Amino acid sequence: MAHQSSTLTTNLSRAGINSGTANGTPGTDPRELYLKLFSGEMFKGFENNAIARDLVMKRTLKNGKSLQFIYTGRTTAEYHTPGNAILGNGDGAPPVAEKTITVDDLLISSAFVYELDETLAHYELRGEISKKIGYALAEKYDRLIFRAVTRGARAVSPVTKTNFKEPGGTQIRVGASTNESDAYSATALVDAFYNAAAAMDEKGISQDGRVGVLNPRQYYALIQQVGENGLINRDEQGSARQSGQGIIEIAGVKIYKSMNIPFLGKYGTKYAGTTGVTDPGNTGDFIGVAAENASGATTGINNDYGTAAELGAKSCGLIFQKEAAAVVETIGPQVQVTSGDVSVVYQGDVILGRLAMGADYLNPAAAVELHVGATAPSAF
């Protein structure tokens, strides 16, 4: 007698199927959600690490390679002579100038993922890869913007007209010695912040949107040593004060911390030869400053962000108002993934994070560079 077998079935739950579609009909592709999960992690990684994007002017550019910004200088008041027609000021004020920001080439970060359900379902692995792609894009984004602000702090006003001289950038010395350790002095930093705020007041810069960006060591020195004397918001305590996300302020300037500002010839922190700074060791090479300018020092760069030598070894912080610089985006942070024949040939997908942006300084008077040493870094 033949044995008759019964077929057992189970209600298989596939983590990648979208069961919450807008029309109420569940999807059927077992991998439908994986790209969405990846893109969400990438965006989260980017947004959590890119602070400069919201601190300067940001414009979206469509159908073009560059964007023009118009400067309007200050005008004058004059007395009217009875009987004379009023046809505009006799000196032709206000003076006007133009600044063009060009978009750099496409900036990308990618990873290859082998196409097996077992691999795709490892959320921790995929999440880690996607966050690192977001981190890479955010790091580059912030570094270029902070370099543009640094360049602006050393520049004169682009507005030029006979008998008119508009204010330019500001450079403020931190401390009174020639030691790099002055950059970490809480007392010297507080003085520098008040000097910077006064300089921007004197140059007619709005108090709205003023920020300062320090490296983590400076930031922590500041909140440890002067956090309770009234110079910094005493209502913010604990994790809020430690966060470095603009919670505390000095002289109306919100303070952020970042490892992406030019700092003593490095990014973020310089350890070697700096008194009072403990080298954590094994820091890797991510703090090195590259040459990135429009003359071709780095392929894909169409704006001038300066070389390592031009940025110099004395810069140690930035204070600026949002009009100091601008970023132009043609492609915001996006995710793309291969499919079709490419996936068949390679049995996997390349998942790509990309963006296209360019940055430059706008109003130099709104930019302040902190530096150590008697001589301020040179313009470039």
Three-class SS string for 333-362? EEEEECCCHHHHHHCEEEEEEEEEEEEEEC
Q: Is the dihedral of CA 201, 207, 209, 215 positive or negative?
A: positive
User: Which ranges of 50-116 would DSSP assign to H, the alpha helix?
Assistant: none
What are phi and psi for residue 58, nearest 5 degrees? -125, 130
Buried-exposed string 108-127: b where 16+ CB fall within 10 A, e elsewhere: ebeeebebeeeebeeeeebb
Q: How far apart are CA 172 and CA 159, in angstroms?
A: 23
pLDDT at 30: 52
Q: How far apart are CA 57 and CA 47, in angstroms?
A: 17
Q: What is the pLDDT of residues 135-189, one digit of tens each?
A: 999 999 999 999 999 999 999 988 877 777 889 999 999 999 988 999 999 999 9
Q: How far apart are CA 149 and CA 272, in angstroms?
A: 26
What are phi and psi for residue 235, nearest 5 degrees? -80, -15
pLDDT at 162: 73
Tokens of 306: 């300066």
DSSP-derived 3-state class of residue 312:
coil
Please say whether the beta carbons of 370 and 174 come within 8 A. yes
pLDDT at 13: 40
Q: What is the pLDDT of residues 80-95, one digit of tens each?
A: 889 888 877 766 667 7
- Domains of the chain: which residue ranges? 34-72+94-371
Please say whether the beta carbons of 245 and 213 come within 8 A. no
DSSP-derived 3-state class of residue 52:
helix
pLDDT at 211: 97
Q: How far apart are CA 319 and CA 197, in angstroms?
A: 9
Helix or strand run (H / E) with residue 267:
strand 266-267
pLDDT at 9: 47
Q: How far apart are CA 369 and CA 172, in angstroms?
A: 6
pLDDT at 131: 82
User: Amino acid letter at 97?
Assistant: A
For the chain, residues with pLDDT lower than 50 are 5, 9-17, 19, 118, 229-230
DSSP 221-249: HHHHHSTTSSSS-TT--HHHHHS-EEEEE
Q: How far apart are CA 3 and CA 1, in angstroms?
A: 6
Q: How far apart are CA 215 and CA 244, in angstroms?
A: 10
